[in-house]
Amino acid sequence: MRIEDVYIWDINARWLGVTPYQLMENAGAGVARTIEERFGKNLRIAVFSGTGNNGGDGFVAARHLSFENEVTVFLVGDELKIKSEEARHNWKILKKLDFVEIKVLRDSSYIKALDLSDFDVIVDALLGAGTRGEPREPIRSAIEKINEYSGKVKVVSVDLPSGYPSKVRVKSDFAVTFQWDKEEFEGFERVVVKIGYPKELYHLVGPGDAKFALRKGGEHKGQNGKLLVIGGSGEYFGAPYLAAKAASYLVDLVYLAMPEYPARRISDPDLILRAFPGENFSKEHLDSLLNLAQRVDAVVIGPGLGLSDETKEFVREFIRSCEKPLVIDADGLKAVNPGVLDGKRFILTPHAGEFKLLFGVKPEGSLVERAEVVRKKAEEAGGVILLKGPYDIISDGKTWKYSRTGNRGMTTGGTGDVLAGIVGSLLALGNEPLRAASAGAFLNGLAGDMVKEELGENFTALEVARKVPHAVKRVLEF
């Protein structure tokens, strides 16, 4: 697991109702338990805490340790700058305890005069994994003071040695890290303790996944994603429009490529409409569309394309020749075969019936059983599969995820096209296919759930598309 996953899990745990207070309590208790298991009780313990959540874990550890040990808490910094509600909550508890000594060290002059020789254990809860660069004062002086006693007393870090991976870091005997080891951690001993994350978080897609997928970096037009949607035919014009409309809320530019006959029915200033001669796409349009694809970051192909033989051949040739990441949806799925996808970065978005047509098997049974079928077929195909259903299941062939947002109202026609547009736009924002598909499934379902809050279970796909920016706002504020 990566440090980034810690933040995603924390957000998704809160989505499930596991509060930050619970996680901080369990983390601090785990630190205290580990110290007593290693070194016994009746100890003199100094806890150095910063003003962030790592410091909050230290506050909790101090409280637990105080029951059978003599504990002094050194707060490094101003108590008015304690950042989170849960850290402030645990600081207030400490201040009510007569048997925990508290000393506030607002600047380095207080720290340099400290004598820690009477302590048996020093707990380092100064900085967490989110800090970057070398520590600044007064944290730097606190690290240097702790290191003066390294090898003379036991030093235990909370999550990781403060200052890691810079050269200015605490020299601890070990760190107590939480739930699982992190792949970025190396060069120091670690003890892993569980803090109450449920097993669902290995697989559940939540607002944490979407929050990271929605990150934007550019400040000029076109720097935050350009998407091409290819769809439509003589029979259909709504499907590609829904995909493009949903995407228009997430990326800077959306090109909507359609045959001229259905394109006449589209009028939307938020989209860049490109009409091509005829009622259906065919190989004669291939070069023009490949040139258009060069201007964008990702492509959605399939909504409303129709099933004529010439269109299916066009789809296969386009996929073979296109170098951009692809979302292949709806009628596009009926045109592909495994050989077409070799070497491509793609996401397939079938429902159960389309999945069976593609792979010859219908995912059935429990969630885990269906997920394993999807995982195996994604591994064989060499890409990502997003299986649409009451629970959307997503896999890249290595791991699998599931999203349980959405409701029965989303059985209405067109919500799958909205999903394709959202997923395509997240690809265009630079996300890897697994994250784009996972976060897209979550956002699509969340938008549908927000429509249901207003209208009940009777609504249209266009209403889901229009709710996308509201879903994004809810995620970013969560």
d(CA 299, CA 255): 9
Residue 185, classed as helix, strand or coil, is coil
| Predicted local confidence at residue 173, as pLDDT | 98
Asked whether 286 and 464 are in contact (CB, 8 A), the reply is no
Under the banding of pLDDT at 50, 70 and 90, the label for residue 183 is confident
Residue the block writes with tokens 């493009």: 244
Average pLDDT over residues 435-454: 98
User: By C-alpha distance, which of 433, 423, 363 is closest to 395?
Assistant: 433
370-389 pLDDT per residue, tens: 999 999 999 999 999 999 99
| Predicted local confidence at residue 361, as pLDDT | 97
Average pLDDT over residues 16-42: 98
284-319 pLDDT per residue, tens: 999 999 999 999 999 999 999 999 999 999 999 999
Domains within the chain, CATH numbers bracketed = 3-198 (3.40.50.10260), 207-477 (3.40.1190.20)
Please count the CA atoms within 13 angstroms of the CA of 97 that sit on its side-chain side.
Answer: 21
Q: Which amino acid is at 253?
A: L
Average pLDDT over residues 440-444: 98
User: By C-alpha distance, which of 193, 183, 189, 136 is closest to 163?
Assistant: 136
323-346 pLDDT per residue, tens: 999 999 999 999 998 789 999 999
